[in-house]
Amino acid sequence: MSEPKTQPTDASVEDFLAAAEPARRREEGRILCDLMQEVTGEAPVMWGPSIVGFGRYTYVNSTKKPADWPRMGFSPRKAALTLYLASTPETEAMLARLGPHTTSVACLYIKRLDQVDMGVLRDLCVASRDEMDRRHP
């Protein structure tokens, strides 16, 4: 069986963020990186070629094989910023106050960081950190 493609690497987070497109994503990536580093107390690490992750936990995937994943992370993709945060009972209420965004099962997508409430985004990150601490001490 193959290893998961998304694993921590030695690649430079700063170089990755400096190359993000469009240009707005570079600054947004740095802002998210600073926010998540402050909230988690963890240094940013590249996971695979496109995810900036903070911390690590092990989960058992659908094939019953343990796999590692960042406790929190993001990717400054061209179409939208993709944030990887744990859901909590408070998430839905916070998202209602965040500003323009979309979600999927495991991701929060933000097209423009300057259109969301950064205080609410910080609260989402704190709640995610606390939930991960609870689930994976």
Domain of 64: which CATH number?
3.90.1150
Q: Which amino acid is at 13?
A: V
Full-model pTM: 0.93
Residue 68 maps to a domain:
yes
Residues near 100 by beta carbon (within 8 Å), at least 6 away in sequence: 110, 111, 112, 115, 116
- Asked if 49 and 100 touch (Cβ cutoff 8 Å), the reply is no
Indicate the burial class of 132 (C-beta count within 10 angstroms; 0-12, 13-18, 19 or more).
buried
pLDDT by residue (tens digit) across 37-78? 999 999 999 999 999 999 999 988 777 888 899 999 999 999
- The answer to the question of residue 1 being in a domain is no
pLDDT tens, position by position, 19-32: 999 999 999 999 99
Q: Is residue 118 part of a domain?
A: yes
Give the three-class secondary structure for 15: helix
Range of the domain at 125: 13-130
The pLDDT value given to residue 6: 82
Domain assignment of residue 51, yes or no: yes
